[in-house]
């Protein structure tokens, strides 16, 4: 599955001021939950799912990138959320670099193959040095979304 299939403008946020890994996961959970149900009732469930996944090992993939992801019951399709942080944070990355670009994924519980394929695609795009730089240079939510869509088509 492609980034263009899972990301929407309402789940894209440029220059967020979240100051910790926990706050990132909380805010992503709220954003995605609101998008799923129109309110934040599901946010605590998503937050716990993200935390559980992080306990298995950091989802930071190096070079300032993290891809937190989880599977959740009741989700009908894959949702992606792309954020950049104003100030990089510790995400317990293997390369010890702080994270400032985050692409979160929430996947239906039963769609393991799509989960892995989408995760691999996001990682492929974000591991490209030029792609990372393009995302970091964005100046607005819309610019960030449009850049992500362009990177998907170019890759």
- What string of pLDDT tens digits covers the 155 residues of the chain? 889 999 999 999 999 999 999 999 999 999 999 888 665 578 999 999 999 999 999 999 999 999 999 999 888 899 999 999 999 999 999 999 999 999 999 999 888 788 899 999 999 999 999 999 999 999 999 999 999 999 988 87
- pLDDT confidence of residue 154: 82
- Selected from 3.40.930.10, 3.55.40.20, 3.40.50.10330, 2.60.40.3470, the CATH number assigned to the domain covering 3-154 reads 3.40.930.10
* Counts of helices then strands in the chain (DSSP H, E): 6, 6
User: What is residue 1's predicted lDDT score, i.e. its pLDDT?
Assistant: 80
Q: Please give the pLDDT value at position 39.
A: 54
Nearest Cα to 53, choosing from 105, 89, 94, 2?
A: 105
CA atoms of 63 and 127, how far apart (whole Å):
8
Q: Which residues are catalytic?
A: 69
H or E element, residue 144 = helix 141-154
The pLDDT of residue 40 is: 58
Please tell me the pTM assigned to this model.
0.95
- For residue 155, the model assigns a pLDDT of 76
Q: Radius of gyration over alpha carbons of the chain, in Å? A: 14
């Amino acid at each position: 599955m492609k980034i263009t299939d899972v990301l929407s403008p309402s789940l894209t946020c440029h220059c967020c001021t979240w100051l910790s890994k926990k706050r990132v996961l909380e805010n992503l959970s709220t954003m995605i939950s609101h998008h799923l149900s129109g309110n934040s009732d599901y946010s605590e469930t998503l937050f716990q799912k993200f935390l559980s996944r992080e306990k298995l090992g950091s989802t930071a993939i190096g070079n300032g990138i993290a891809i937190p992801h989880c599977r959740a019951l009741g989700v009908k399709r894959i949702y992606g959320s792309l954020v950049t942080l104003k100030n990089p944070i510790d995400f317990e990355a293997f390369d010890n670099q702080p994270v400032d670009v985050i692409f979160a994924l929430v996947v239906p519980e039963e769609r393991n193959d799509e989960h892995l394929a989408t995760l691999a695609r996001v990682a492929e795009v974000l591991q490209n040095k030029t792609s990372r730089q393009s995302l970091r240079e964005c100046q607005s939510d819309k610019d960030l979304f449009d850049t992500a869509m362009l990177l998907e088509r170019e890759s």
